Amino acid sequence: MKRFPGDIPAGVIPACILPFHDDLSLDLKSFAKHLQHTAAVPGLTAITINAHSTEVGSCTLDEQRQVMDAAAEAVGDKIALVHGIYAEGSLEAARIAKQATQGGAAALLVFPPGPFTMGQNPEMVLAHFKRIADASDLPIIAFQYPLAGGQGYPRETLNRLLDEVPTVRAIKDWCNAVPQHERQIVELQSRSRKVNVLSTHSAWLFSSLVLGCNGLLSGSGSVIADLQSELFSAVQANDLAKARAVNDRIRPLSQVFYSNPFVDMHNRMKEALVLLGRIPRAVVRPPLVKIQPAEIERIRQALVEAKLLPAGKAKAA
């Protein structure tokens, strides 16, 4: 299985969607094709599975194992796999971490536990991550949520976490506050033990990358991994003219994917993949529901604006 150089997650990392059959069971055959199509994009360093984009909150532990096994078989010898750790409690998180490690994951993306919405302190955060680190020696990507919701890690807590849990080697930054985002990029990426900032500010990705992120981890990469790779490469080369041109193609899709209600973002990405002919159906698991035809038409128009779909030639969603 592929690993990150030096076990430090970096670069362009799409988070792939998970297709379902009409009866809501896993469509692993379509999933494998989706992974293979994504993995073939030049410039990627990894693919993320069992995260928001794969509707992990609606998947059982056994289904997560099936997703990991399917991904390892389809692309595990070609590209590193990041496995999400999404659990309300630390014991379950550790079980998922152990299962992911045994399945061949290259890194763990640790979501903040739901109870943190009711309040957290540094000891809770450290206990959660240490439990996961005890179950796996894989590098950890800490998912940094906005502070306002209670699940984001304050500056002092984040620094203690990085000091006391050495396998935390990156954050997936969704703080959604530009000054905090910039400070985290500067401070974390200059630590003696390097910690990368992977942007997931996909609604304003160009602006985020220009601040100096060493990578990105994005659900919209399930649709536009090629454009995200081109954008990252252009910013890294300081070719801002090219980066702006690529961003002009990304913008219409970002605007439609991340419109309200925000929870439908990956639902919309599935519809885009159907329109592009990459998956057979855009089935989502409840409580998500299929979006309406008018919104699907807006997605089609955005794909046309992004020059990914010829006008009038979309496959019916």
- What the chain holds in terms of domains, given with CATH numbers, is 5-238 (3.20.20.70)
Please say if the pLDDT value at position 314 is more than 60.
no
How does pLDDT run across 69-97, given as a tens digit for each residue?
A: 999 999 999 999 999 999 999 999 999 99
pLDDT score of 93: 98
Q: What is the pLDDT of residue 1?
A: 85
The pLDDT of residue 311: 84
Which strands sit side by side in the sheet containing 107-110, from one edge to the other? Answer: 11-14, 215-218, 196-199, 168-173, 140-144, 107-110, 80-85, 46-49
Model pLDDT, residue 193 = 95
For the cut 80, the answer to whether the pLDDT of residue 315 exceeds it is no
Average pLDDT over residues 130-154: 97
Quick one: average pLDDT of 24-52? 98
- Burial group, residue 125, by CB count within 10 angstroms (0-12, 13-18, 19+): buried
- Rounded to an integer, the average pLDDT of 252-279 is 97
Please give the pLDDT value at position 219. Answer: 98
Mean pLDDT over the full length of the chain: 97
316: pLDDT strictly greater than 80 = no
**How far is the CA of 224 from the CAs of 149, 244, 253, in angstroms?**
29, 16, 9
**Mean pLDDT value across residues 144-150:** 96
Q: Say what the pLDDT of residue 317 is.
A: 42
Residues 6+ apart with CB under 8 A from 112: 120, 143, 145, 151, 152, 153
pTM: 0.96
For position 278, what pLDDT does the model report?
Answer: 98
